[in-house]
């Protein structure tokens, strides 16, 4: 899998690669019975492994988990509360000089960078309703990572800890049937980015902090039913996320460039259904 760390043009690479192990617990959608708490929670967990595949070697870290708690059944659909978190650490080399907290870093120097993303939301599971969609989700996202900004007064590129805070609406199609199946997801969000340090560079120009988030995921899965309960599957997907900053006024004291993140993953594993 490839995980990006965007928004820093001075880095030689946009992200890093990981070998990882995954474990998913997916209960069957509720079909009848009680309305409140109709089925077990769904859990997804991914842990990156420290291998030679990662350019960061022993410094690289990656973990990702998601929990979905079914709350209420509405006919053939289920309303759930969702929580997820992703953490990563990458070692990067500079291809251009930049300034961090007033200290200058030169080309060729190494930086150890961290990123944390948390999301809480509500999701409507529509897999049993006959809809072409698998789910619709509204989530509140907070994302902490370093951000590269350019001050108009000095033309310097500064790296500052930042917090992205936004709401996002997502629709998904993720079929679990045997054979070849296409999956996709689309998301649209809006929010602001804030300075997460004592420098307060971003707070001086609040109009330049607004952004729109656009996301698209495309994937293909081949699932073979070995037995009625045991399935073997292979999955390939790519995901793109773009942050488009709204203000481009000349009077803004700083400029934040639009950000594009491209990730991909290749999975192979087995499923046990009961």
Domain that holds residue 237: 2-272
Q: What is the pLDDT of residue 100?
A: 81
Q: Are strands 254-255 and 135-151 parallel, antiparallel or unpaired?
A: antiparallel
Q: What is the β-pairing status of strands 61-74 and 42-49?
A: antiparallel
CA angle 60, 83, 206 (to 5 degrees): 80
Strands 77-93 and 110-125: antiparallel
What's 256's DSSP letter? -
Confidence (pLDDT) at 248: 60
> Distance between CA atoms of 144 and 115, rounded to whole angstroms?
6
The string of DSSP letters for 77-114 reads: EEEEEEEEEEEEEEEEEBSS-EEETTEEE-TT-EEEEE
Tell me, what's the pLDDT at 219? 97
What b/e string do you get for 52-74 counting C-beta neighbours within 10 Å, with b at 16 or more?
A: eebbbeebbbbebebbbebeebe
CA distance 17 to 25: 25
Question: Hey, is 8 helix, strand or coil?
Answer: coil
**In this predicted structure, what is the pLDDT of residue 38?**
87
Name the nearest CA neighbour of 81 among 33, 129, 137.
137
Contact 91, 122 (CB under 8 A): no
Taking alpha carbons only, the member of 264, 242, 270 closest to residue 15 is 264
Q: How far apart are CA 207 and CA 247, in angstroms?
A: 6
pTM (2 d.p.): 0.89
Domains identified in the chain, total number: 1
pLDDT in tens, the chain (274 residues): 888 876 687 888 888 888 999 999 988 766 666 789 888 899 999 999 888 888 888 888 999 999 999 999 888 889 999 999 999 999 998 888 888 877 888 888 898 999 999 999 999 999 888 888 999 999 999 999 988 887 766 667 788 888 999 999 999 999 888 899 999 999 999 999 888 876 666 765 556 688 999 999 999 999 999 988 899 999 999 999 999 988 666 666 677 778 888 999 999 999 887 7
Q: What is the CATH number of the domain that holds 114?
A: 2.40.128
SS3 of 9, please? coil
Q: Per-residue pLDDT tens for 48-95?
A: 988 888 888 888 899 999 999 999 988 888 999 999 999 999 999 888
């Amino acid at each position: 899998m490839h995980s990006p760390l965007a928004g820093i043009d001075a880095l030689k690479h946009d992200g890093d690669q990981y070998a990882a192990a995954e474990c998913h617990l997916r209960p069957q959608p509720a079909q009848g019975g009680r309305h409140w708490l109709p089925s077990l929670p769904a859990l997804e967990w991914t842990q990156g492994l420290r291998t030679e595949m990662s350019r960061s070697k022993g410094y690289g870290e990656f973990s990702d988990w998601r929990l979905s708690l079914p709350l209420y059944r509405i006919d053939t659909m289920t309303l759930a509360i969702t929580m997820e978190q992703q953490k990563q650490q990458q070692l990067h080399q500079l291809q251009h000089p930049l300034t961090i907290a007033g200290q200058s870093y030169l080309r060729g120097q190494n930086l150890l960078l961290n990123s944390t993303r948390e999301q809480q939301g509500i999701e409507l599971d529509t897999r049993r309703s006959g809809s072409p969609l698998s789910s619709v989700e509204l989530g509140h996202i907070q994302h902490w990572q370093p951000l590269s900004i350019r001050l108009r007064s000095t033309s310097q590129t500064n790296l500052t800890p930042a917090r992205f805070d936004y709401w996002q609406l997502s629709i998904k199609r993720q079929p679990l049937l045997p054979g070849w199946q296409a999956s996709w997801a689309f998301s649209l969000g809006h929010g602001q980015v804030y300075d997460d340090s004592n420098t307060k560079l971003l707070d001086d120009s609040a109009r330049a902090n607004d952004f729109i988030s656009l996301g698209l995921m495309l994937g293909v899965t081949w699932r073979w039913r070995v037995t009625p309960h045991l399935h073997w599957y292979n999955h390939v997907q790519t995901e793109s996320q773009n942050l488009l900053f709204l203000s481009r006024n000349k009077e803004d004291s700083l400029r934040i460039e639009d950000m594009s993140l491209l990730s991909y993953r290749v999975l192979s594993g087995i499923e046990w259904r009961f």
